[in-house]
Structure 1
Amino acid sequence: MTRRRVVVITHTAEIGGAEAALLKLLAELDRERFEPYAVVFAHGPLVSRLRALGIPTRVLPLGRAGAVTRTETSSLPALAGAAAGTAAFVPRLVRALRSSGAELAIANSLKAATVLAAAAPLAGLPWVWQLHDRLASDYLPARTAWAMRGLARVGPRCVVVNSEAVRTTLGRIRPERSVVAYPGLDDAGFAHPRAETFERPERPLIGILGRISATKGQREFVEAARRLAADHPGARFRIVGAALFQDGDYEHALRAEVARAGLDELIEFAGWSDDPAAAIRALDLLVHASPVPEPFGQVVVEAMAAGVPVVATDAGGVPEILDPDGSAVAVADGVRRSELGILARPGDAGALARAIRLALDDPGAAREAAARARLSALARFTAAGTARTAEGAWARALPEIGGIAH
């Protein structure tokens, strides 16, 4: 078997969900088949993590164009400035691609895909898009979503998506040019599951974990906590995470809102955790509260693997995780219960409160669902399984050697 060199391209060096998924995939990559190389458009923690995996990594700063946010892409001046910066950057990336010796380029973000779409043909490379975002106007600015759908149709040889929910937003693309590779967990993600939850049902700890952002639902979580305080006075609520990228103002406003409402004793801001698995295992109930349909819902899988009961929003990729066979039943307004957890209508703090209340009022049922969910995660969401699926897509996109595909 001939080992083929591939170059992975990503615009940010901060470690968000897409970057964490990339690291897990690369850690499980079959090095007998693929020799990975990486180009990152900024300095940051991702660079050292890639190098720690033994992956040669080059930093090629994109500059101001790399700092344009998703929201700013709906602004014509910001978009024009980013386009100008990107155009100047493309020749540098072309040279980096050629010097990498790679036979295939892989984009791991929207910005990386945008730049690679121009640079890869000039470098004579086919490319694959590892897509972690829903290309829909409720998730991205409408102009950006439209442009990205067009790019998906004409640019990459294959789009590797992280859920069926993402695949449905690709638009008119041939079925054979897309594949679903659910982000999986490594062995450490399944280690040391919580043996018991609701050990002290009179003092349950309910938490939300992840980047603090309007798209992650911490505000809805705070409102649900306020509604539950009267009939579950012993319950404690914990927000684990911090703002990344351009979300600092949202976190500041959220903290001020909690203080003004006098909820400081009820809701704890625990800050960023370097060990999210341990932070999840400390909880009696994990809440996923994104008001906008998420592409996947990695924290839901992490809680399942840890044996912790889950309440999550009923949209995007989450139902594929918690209700894979579509058997969930309505149990309250805006709330459905599946064999693996409880689903709540997104953006509805009342529905979220009702879903949490169901779990608190019947801790035995929540524990049983958590046990089933852990087995389901072990069967469906491993990093090794993700890597095998992605490798298959990469292999199909590679040019043939001597007329024979490898």
Structure 2
Amino acid sequence: MILFASYAGVLGGAERVLLDCVTRLERPLRVACPEGPLADELRRAGIEHAPLEDRGLSKSVSGTGGLAFELMKLKPETLVAWGAKAVMAAAIVPAKRRVAVHHDLFDAPALRGAVRATTRRADVVVAASQAIADDLRLDATILHPGVDLTAFTPTPLPDGPPKALVAGALVGWKRPDLAVEIARRMPELQITFAGEPLPGDPMPDLDAPENVTFAGRVDMQQALQEHHVLLHCADREPYGMVLVEALAAGRPVVAPAAAGPLEILDDGLYTPGDADAAIAQLEAKLADPGNPRARAEQFDVNASVARLDAVLG
């Protein structure tokens, strides 16, 4: 049996990709992760779940020994380590086959080195983007996560003033401050933040103008229908699943020309951190959204899961 191991129990981008995969793979499998939204969705889908201790969302080496011990007790034949901490733990877990799946970029050189070293114990290395593989300086199979094209139906653009959606956790590296700066300089544009701080973190003080709304957790399909464009501001986004979802919903995307978005988008890109360049791209996409759905069709979830299935051997 295949054991997928995730140290995170939340339902962020990487965990939603995991859920997409395990619900489509026609193999005996179970998923080990902490209790939380991911475990709830696994149970709803009828996927066997093995609970793990919640060690928080930090990608540091802290807690990897305890995680490894828990995984050893599950006696996996094939161990698919989903994310950096799981990969570090899996390095010392006996298994016939180890698959390391990476979906993070790293700022700390020491942590990057530790992840690189432990990844070398894996039989197969997978990265969600070339940017991730390059960051770790590893020879990896690149598997861009796909989207369920049947779940996102393009709808006509909404009436009224232009609206931009900013989706994702309210954390510093996502650059919500840049989105707020853009809002100040484009008072005619309504900007909605769809997302919350990470568990235990305070709400950031962004001093946002009146044309900014903080909506919290939302239904992404409905939110995309209610907006004209997706605005992304993270300078170092490892991949960017929400960008693919927006394209599938027929909404254009404006994002920094760096890391993951460079592998998803062929236009709508701006110099990272440059509000002027972002505004120019927003104005262009609001005037002519083009055909975003055509780009999304290159990222079909069924095709991406088939590629993962082949990698699992």
TM-score range, shorter chain: over 0.9
Aligned partners of 2:8 and 2:57 also within 8 Å: no
The alignment partner of 1:215 has SS state of: helix
What is the Cα deviation at residue 226 of structure 1?
A: 0.6
Going from structure 1 to structure 2, the CA distance change for 1:94 and 1:343 (only over 3 Å counts) comes to same
Q: Which of 97, 101, 107 in structure 2 is aligned with 1:126?
A: 97
- Say which structure is richer in helix: 1
Q: How does 1:269-280 map to 2 (within 5 A)?
A: 269-273=214-218, 275-280=219-224
Partner of 2:36: 44
- Comparing 50-59 with 348-357, which one deviates more in the overlay? 348-357
What is the Cα deviation at residue 108 of structure 1?
A: 0.7
Q: Which of 7, 15, 19 in structure 2 is aligned with 1:23?
A: 19
The alignment partner of 1:51 has SS state of: helix
RMSD: 1.9
What is the Cα deviation at residue 290 of structure 1?
A: 0.7
Q: 2-side partners of 1:25 and 1:296: how far apart?
A: 16
Going from structure 1 to structure 2, the CA distance change for 1:352 and 1:125 (only over 3 Å counts) comes to same
Q: 2-side partners of 1:245 and 1:188: how far apart?
A: 31
Partner of 1:156: 122
Going from structure 1 to structure 2, the CA distance change for 1:6 and 1:182 (only over 3 Å counts) comes to same
Q: 2-side partners of 1:272 and 1:59: how far apart?
A: 25
In the alignment, is residue 351 of structure 1 matched against residue 312 of structure 2? no
Q: Which of 179, 183, 196 in structure 1 is aligned with 2:145?
A: 183
Partner of 2:183: 225
Q: How does 1:5-404 map to 2 (within 5 A)?
A: 5-29=1-25, 31=26, 34-40=27-33, 42-61=34-53, 66-67=55-56, 69-70=58-59, 73=60, 82=62, 85-96=63-74, 98=75, 102-119=76-93, 121=94, 124-134=95-105, 139-152=106-119, 154-173=120-139, 178-190=140-152, 192-195=153-156, 197=157, 199-200=159-160, 203-229=161-187, 233=188, 235-245=189-199, 248-249=201-202, 251-254=203-206, 257-258=207-208, 263=209, 265-273=210-218, 275-291=219-235, 293-323=236-266, 338=267, 342-360=268-286, 363=287, 365-366=288-289, 369=290, 371=291, 373-378=292-297, 380-395=298-313
Aligned partners of 1:208 and 1:286 also within 8 Å: yes
What is the Cα deviation at residue 347 of structure 1?
A: 2.0
Deviations 1:85-144 (A, max 9, x none): 443553342122x2xxx420101111111111112x3xx43210121113xxxx431211
Aligned partners of 1:241 and 1:271 also within 8 Å: yes
Q: 1-side partners of 2:57 and 2:24: how far apart?
A: 32
The alignment partner of 1:168 has SS state of: helix
Query: Unmatched 5+ residue regions in structure 1?
Result: 74-78, 324-337, 396-406
Deviations 1:16-39 (A, max 9, x none): 11100101111221x2xx211111
Deviations 1:44-101 (A, max 9, x none): 1111211222211111215xxx23624xx4xxxxx6xx2xx443553342122x2xxx
Of all paired residues, the percent bearing the same amino acid is: 28
Q: 2-side partners of 1:179 and 1:59: how far apart?
A: 29
Aligned partners of 1:160 and 1:180 also within 8 Å: yes
What is the Cα deviation at residue 205 of structure 1?
A: 1.1
TM-score, length-normalised on structure 1? 0.73
Going from structure 1 to structure 2, the CA distance change for 1:67 and 1:375 (only over 3 Å counts) comes to same
Q: 1-side partners of 2:128 and 2:172: how far apart?
A: 22
TM-score, length-normalised on structure 2? 0.93
Q: 2-side partners of 1:87 and 1:56: how far apart?
A: 24
Query: Unmatched 5+ residue regions in structure 2?
Result: none
What is the Cα deviation at residue 344 of structure 1?
A: 1.1
Deviations 1:284-342 (A, max 9, x none): 11101112x2111111111110111211111001111112xxxxxxxxxxxxxx3xxx1
Going from structure 1 to structure 2, the CA distance change for 1:118 and 1:245 (only over 3 Å counts) comes to farther
Size of the aligned set, in residue pairs, is 313
Going from structure 1 to structure 2, the CA distance change for 1:242 and 1:188 (only over 3 Å counts) comes to farther
Aligned partners of 1:225 and 1:353 also within 8 Å: no
What is the Cα deviation at residue 349 of structure 1?
A: 2.5
